[in-house]
Chain A
Amino acid sequence: MTTQRDKLFYGLLAATAGVFLYLITFVFFKAPTAQLQAGGLAQKIFYFHVPAAYAMYLCGTVCCVASAMYLAKPSDARDAIGRAGAECAVVFGAMMLSSGPLWAKKAWGVYWTWDPRLTTTLLSVLVYVSVVVLRAFAGNGEAERKFASALGVLGTVNLPIIHYSVLKWGGNHPTVIGQGGGGLKDPRMVHALLVGFIAMTMLAALLLWARARLALSISRIARLEERAIASGELDY
């Protein structure tokens, strides 16, 4: 039976697919190529790379808030949302960390440098990876949940450091938008970036929703099994 919530989920899924289709078409066929110093044609990675970074911040924030709430007052729902936030942050972080070096190869001449923004970003993604690995292999006990929640909060504390690392410590990573940046000089570039942000926000919402529901289902089944075993209705 399809519930109202399912309908909303499938509606959001269809809308996200539509926005991504439009984004890809626009980026490849309408958005202009940038100057060589910015990577030329490879600069078009920017329209997915930056929104993926933003989506990682978003999922990290969800992870942090849910984890902090879980530490204050534990519940299965808070744990599930925190876990989903960490998992999605890893996915978006991996998208960002894989696309960035390919663009950097063209724009900077190297795939990777240990500059402050890149290093702090890698560190943050690794913290979220540790949360996911901990939850996957260390069991589902109260202590493991609390430790993972504390790690989730810690990973997000690092996010503002990533954002301001370029302003504070310099480095290779340029600031294009915001303080010190020249911005996007063509309205089609601005449009592509805005659509990228919308698409990634919708994708992040979808993934968070699906993974949180899944994690919550797993917790509920585990509790049902425990109750069934305790009452003697289940043998194993």
Chain B
Amino acid sequence: MTQSQPDAGTLTDPSSRSTEFVAVQGGGETTSAAALLVTAYLVMWALLLGFVLLSWRRQGRVETRISELEKSLAGGDPQRGPAD
């Protein structure tokens, strides 16, 4: 069914590229598309996970800074307990 369709990799003229998406049934697909699809999803999730991990680490540093601040304030004035 897809024999009549030219391979996308050989297209050089932008005007001949698709401006709509239509569903097709099976055939003509290469494994490279699946690899590209999986790679794209993995890269996107890796970026997101990296951002969340960086935020987590930064949150940890903020908590450490708060603890140090509390200790310093409590150490400077023995009458005062750690701030709640």
Contact = CB atoms under 8 A, between A and B. Distances in A.
Interface of A: 24, 32-46, 48-49, 52, 87, 91, 94-95, 98-99, 102-103, 105-109, 115, 170-172, 174-176, 180-186, 188-189, 203, 207, 210-211, 214, 217-218, 221, 224-225, 228, 233-236
Contacts of B62: 214, 217-218, 221
A48 B5 contact: no
B36 A170 contact: no
Chain A CB within 10 Å, residue with most, of B12, B17, B37:
B37
Interface of B: 2, 5-12, 14, 16-24, 28-30, 32-34, 36-37, 39-41, 43-44, 47-48, 51, 55, 58-59, 62, 65-66, 69, 72-73, 76-77
Contacts of B12: 109
Contacts of A38: 8, 18, 21
> Could you tell me the dominant secondary structure of chain B's interface residues?
helix
A45 B5 contact: no
Contacts of A186: 21-23
Contacts of A171: 14
B21 A102 contact: no
Contact of B33 (A41, A52, A99, A189): A41
Contacts of A176: 18-21
A37 B18 CA distance: 6
